[in-house]
């Protein structure tokens, strides 16, 4: 679960309203980029409720929400899981009251909580020091020697203030998402359960309206293999740049188009009701399981129309 901790110090700057709004937009796009990789697991942790945030001195978040071009960003941010204050993300009963973190001599509660929990810090890039994908913090910890002595150490923290910074952390985010996804899929017993979890587990994939009936017909033996294939397709689409890879993504398993003689079997109603060719496909065990889809280059995704027994068999 990529827990994202808002750095409260980055919200204590004095800046003109336009610059503050621009910085907030940059940070929100970074948060949403993380959520795009792991929608189910992404959690935003802040000092106070998101809708009560002060983005800078005298600049409440409502000023950003009401500015041009932010409506969609705010709606997407508002539906993310969130917690407050920072300590609400600690394990039950743990306060970490014996540890303090600083950056440039400033106490940074949110960034410290991110380091303590293995999370990621996020900041508004209103100051150059926050406009980076890594931060070095000074950790001061009370020693258990009864004398009140403390120990100082430097620690490194993953961080993002812009969408570009998230690219550095993608392997970490994807490892966590994959582990959570595998655990979730392993606990499913029916195709209907898998279908209900698809938006959360595979947010980058699309499905035609009739795909649901094919998922519902899956036998239990096919549920986990189908979930694993969906995960591989999700990962492939997540790294796909159609401009550099105009034919197809870099697949994680054996994916190909159907033979010419079999393409007549691969026409399905699309999301707009028009019949289209879904001849890209992959296998899953036990044989003869097949999944059919088509690439949607303009949306950088693929759309699945069929999952089940090999067509025509």
Contacts of 34 (CB under 8 A, 6+ apart): 2, 4, 42, 120, 160, 166, 169, 173
Q: Which two tokens stand for residue 7?
A: 């750095």
Q: Is the distance from CB of 137 to CB of 115 less than 8 angstroms?
A: yes
Residues in the chain: 313
Q: Can you give the pTM of this predicted structure?
A: 0.72
CA dihedral 57, 61, 65, 69 (to 10 degrees): 50
H or E, element range at 120: strand 120-122
| CA–CA distance, 216 with 211 (Å, rounded to integer) | 9
pLDDT of residue 22: 98
Predicted local distance difference test score (pLDDT) of residue 167? 93
Whole-number Å distance between alpha carbons of 23 and 12: 13
Q: Provide the b/e sequence for 198-218 (b: ≥16 CB within 10 Å).
A: beebbbbbbbbeebeebbeeb
Q: What is the pLDDT of residue 69?
A: 93
In the sheet that holds 99-103, the strands lie side by side as 81-83, 43-45, 3-6, 120-122, 150-160, 134-142, 99-103, 106-107
Tell me 264's DSSP state: G
pLDDT at position 93 is 81
Residue 239: per-residue pLDDT: 84
What beta strand segments (E) does 123-165 contain?
Answer: 134-142, 150-160
| CA–CA dist 10, 127 (Å, integer) | 7
138 DSSP β-pair partners: 102, 154
How far is residue 71 CA from its own chain's centroid? 20
Q: What is the pLDDT along the chain (313 residues), one digit of tens a residue?
A: 689 999 999 999 999 999 999 999 999 999 999 998 888 789 999 999 999 999 999 999 999 999 999 999 999 999 888 999 998 988 888 888 899 999 999 999 999 999 999 999 999 999 999 999 999 999 999 887 667 788 999 999 999 999 999 999 998 998 888 888 889 999 999 999 999 999 989 988 999 999 999 999 999 999 999 999 999 999 899 889 899 999 999 998 899 999 999 999 999 999 999 999 999 999 999 999 999 999 999 999 999 999 999 999 8
List the structure tokens of 4. 């994202």
Q: Three-state DSSP class for 117?
A: helix
Residues 111 and 6 sit within 8 Å (Cβ to Cβ): no
Determine the pLDDT at residue 1: 65
């Amino acid at each position: 679960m990529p827990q994202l901790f808002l750095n409260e110090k980055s919200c204590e700057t004095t800046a003109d309203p336009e610059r503050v709004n621009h910085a907030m937009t940059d940070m929100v796009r970074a948060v949403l980029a993380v959520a795009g990789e792991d929608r189910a697991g992404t959690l935003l942790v802040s000092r106070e409720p998101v809708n009560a945030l002060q983005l800078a001195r005298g600049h409440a978040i409502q000023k950003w929400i009401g500015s041009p071009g932010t409506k969609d960003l705010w709606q997407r941010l508002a539906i993310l899981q969130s917690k407050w204050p920072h300590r609400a993300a600690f394990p039950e009963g743990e306060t970490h009251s014996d540890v303090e973190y600083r950056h440039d001599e400033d106490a940074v509660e949110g960034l410290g909580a991110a380091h303590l929990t293995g999370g990621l810090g996020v900041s508004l890039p209103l100051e150059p020091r926050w406009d980076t994908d890594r931060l070095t913090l000074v950790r001061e910890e009370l020693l258990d020697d009864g004398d009140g002595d403390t120990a100082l150490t430097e620690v490194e923290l993953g961080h993002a203030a812009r969408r570009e910074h998230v690219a550095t952390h993608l392997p970490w985010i994807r490892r966590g998402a994959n582990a959570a996804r595998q655990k979730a899929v392993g606990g499913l017993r029916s195709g209907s359960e898998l279908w209900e979890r698809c938006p959360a587990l595979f947010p980058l994939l699309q499905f035609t309206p009739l795909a649901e009936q094919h998922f519902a017909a899956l036998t239990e033996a096919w549920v986990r293999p189908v979930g694993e294939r969906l995960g591989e397709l999700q990962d492939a689409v997540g790294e796909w740049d159609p401009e550099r890879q105009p034919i197809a993504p870099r697949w994680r398993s054996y994916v190909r188009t159907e033979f010419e003689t079999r393409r007549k079997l691969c026409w399905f109603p699309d999301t707009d009701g028009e019949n289209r060719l879904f001849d890209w496909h992959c296998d899953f065990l036990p044989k003869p399981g097949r999944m059919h889809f088509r690439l949607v280059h303009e949306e950088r995704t693929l759309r699945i129309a069929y999952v089940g027994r090999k067509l025509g068999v």
